Amino acid sequence: MLVRTIVVFLMLIASSCSASADAPSDPPRPAPPLLGSAEASQDAPRADVVALDVDRVFASTLAELLNDSDLVVSGTLGDAAHELSRSTDDRFLHMAHPFLIEEVIRGAAQPGESIEVLRTVASDGRPAVEFNAEPTIVGERYLLFLRAEGDVYVTSGGPQGQFAIENDRLKSLTDELPSFGLAGLALDEVAAFLNAKDS
């Protein structure tokens, strides 16, 4: 009887080992991308945008973001864009979009003034984004940290210097870069917040 019990027990063990060997194992989970790494832009492909893989330097402090910015303004992204240049492989178009300034928080500009800001799109018209950011949308309101490059302004730090304005509050366009406490602020709190950081 003891021998029979041992044989049944061994058969059960062999049966469970065989079943687990046949079961597909879960592939190892990749480590999360490092903040600011090139792979951070690649890990969630979406059909409505095209990932733009650039070697961008982003700010590690709010002071760096401000030092890299000639203007900090809120306003609306316009649609009457014109092409400035394109990538050497013709996959991306660098467009100058009008941006109608609503409020000047820092820099030499006037409310009501229209400036041109750089926005990159794919050749099929889809917005190009970095760091899995939400794209900037024509007709929507934004707070932008901008650096002058000739007659056009470029966003400082890419999506790090872009905040959507929703219900008069700032919303960061990406979770993969630091927003330095700006996300969630009311628009009318931004100037005081930045001034406090300067002092």
DSSP assignment, residue 80? -
Chain length of the chain: 199
Which single residue is written with the structure tokens 């917005």? 127
Distance CA 133, CA 159 (A): 6
Of the candidates 196, 160, 152, the residue with the CA atom closest to the CA atom of residue 64:
160
Amino acid (one-letter) located at 74: S
Q: Residue 77 pairs with which residues in a beta bridge?
A: 99
Quote the pLDDT of residue 197. 78
Which single residue is written with the structure tokens 């890299």? 68
Number of domains in the chain: 1
CA 34 to chain centre: 14
Quote the pLDDT of residue 47. 64
Sign, CA dihedral 82-174-100-198, equals negative
Q: Give me the domain span that covers residue 152.
A: 51-198
Quote the pLDDT of residue 7. 37
Token pair for 167: 């219900």
Domain with 61 in it: what CATH number?
A: 2.40.50
Residue 1 in any domain: the answer is no
Of the candidates 148, 185, 187, 178, the residue with the CA atom closest to the CA atom of residue 60:
178
Q: Tell me if 155 sits within 8 A of 125, measured CB to CB.
A: no
DSSP assignment, residue 43? S
Residue 72 in any domain: the answer is yes
Q: Quick check: pTM over 0.75? A: no
Residue 36 in any domain: the answer is no
Residue 22 in any domain: the answer is no
Distance CA 40, CA 9 (A): 50
Q: Tell me if 166 sits within 8 A of 190, measured CB to CB.
A: no
Distance CA 93, CA 121 (A): 5
Quote the pLDDT of residue 70. 97
Residue 45 in any domain: the answer is no
Residue 23 in any domain: the answer is no
Quote the pLDDT of residue 46. 59
Q: What does pLDDT average to in each consecutive run of 10 residues of the chain (199 residues)?
A: 38 41 42 34 55 71 94 95 89 92 96 95 82 87 96 92 96 90 95 83
CA-to-CA separations, 4 to 14, 15, 16, 87, in angstroms, rounded: 15, 16, 19, 76
Distance CA 129, CA 136 (A): 9
Q: Tell me if 140 sits within 8 A of 127, measured CB to CB.
A: no
